[in-house]
């Protein structure tokens, strides 16, 4: 078979894994959905685990590349970079909807893979990109400093990745619009907190309870 055919098999497998769960999906079901004999499937993949690894690794490598491009394009501006990372994440969801579901829902299966170390290495690199940008923004006074970067990262990560659940793009509200709104909310929400103005007091010291509204 050609490389395209191999990609077709992975697409069928990814759809089944996302809809039914990896553990509940069988090689026979994948072969049937792809129009193949089970034996023919093994000419391309040694096991179901090998298919899962290929699907998730392709997703993570694409995400890694998108993030690297976002960081370069932002030219050191943490605020611009954070927005670019959020937009890149939503673009990755669009490009890999099934892999996103698998990565979120089948962590136990992924941890049991022989290749888990390689997957984890890429995932940690992706995570570190976020942490570096958030830390730089805090250090430069662009983001509020009272929330640890790891907490900010988890909040943004979950908002982005969980958007794949229960969100159906419409002509009036696309995923790109969702990405823009999410970016605006987080960027405004993590701006440095402004100190409250000191209350003005009317009258003498003994009239301190009378404040300007």
Whole-model pTM: value is 0.81
The alpha carbon of 210 is separated from its chain's Cα centroid by a whole number of angstroms, namely 51
pLDDT at 180 (0 to 100): 86
Domains, the chain, in order of start with CATH, read 49-189 (1.10.357.10)
* Alpha-carbon span 142 to 137, nearest angstrom: 5
pLDDT at 186 (0 to 100): 85
pLDDT at 43 (0 to 100): 85
Task: Return the biggest CA–CA distance within the chain.
Answer: 92
pLDDT at 209 (0 to 100): 38
pLDDT per residue of the chain (213 residues) written in tens, 0 to 9: 344 388 899 999 999 999 999 999 999 999 999 888 878 888 889 999 999 999 999 999 999 999 999 999 998 899 999 999 999 998 998 899 999 999 989 999 999 999 999 999 999 999 999 999 999 999 999 998 898 999 999 988 888 887 767 678 888 988 888 888 888 888 876 666 665 555 544 444 443 333 323
Residues near 45 by beta carbon (within 8 Å), at least 6 away in sequence: 9, 51, 54
Q: Is 111 helix (H, G, I), strand (E, B) or coil?
A: helix
pLDDT at 38 (0 to 100): 77
Burial label, 213 (beta-carbon count in 10 A; 0-12, 13-18, 19+): exposed
């Amino acid at each position: 078979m050609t490389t395209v055919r191999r990609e077709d098999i992975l697409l069928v497998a990814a759809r089944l894994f996302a809809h039914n769960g990896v553990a509940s999906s069988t090689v026979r079901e994948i072969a049937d959905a792809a129009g193949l004999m089970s034996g023919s499937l093994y000419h391309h993949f040694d096991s179901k685990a090998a298919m899962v690894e290929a699907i998730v690794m392709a997703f993570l490598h694409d995400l890694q590349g998108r993030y690297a491009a976002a960081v370069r394009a932002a030219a050191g501006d943490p605020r611009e970079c954070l927005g670019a990372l959020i937009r890149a994440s939503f673009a990755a969801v669009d490009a890999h909807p099934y892999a996103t579901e698998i990565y979120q829902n089948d962590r136990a299966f992924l941890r049991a893979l022989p290749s888990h170390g390689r997957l984890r290495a890429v995932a940690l690199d992706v995570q570190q990109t976020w942490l570096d940008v958030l830390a730089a923004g805090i250090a430069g006074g662009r983001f509020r400093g009272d929330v640890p970067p790891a907490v900010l990262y988890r909040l943004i990560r979950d908002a982005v990745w969980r958007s794949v659940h229960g969100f159906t793009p419409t002509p009036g509200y696309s995923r790109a619009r969702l990405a823009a709104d999410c970016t605006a909310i987080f960027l405004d929400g993590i701006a440095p907190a402004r100190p409250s103005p000191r209350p003005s007091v009317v009258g003498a010291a003994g009239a301190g309870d009378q404040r300007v509204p």
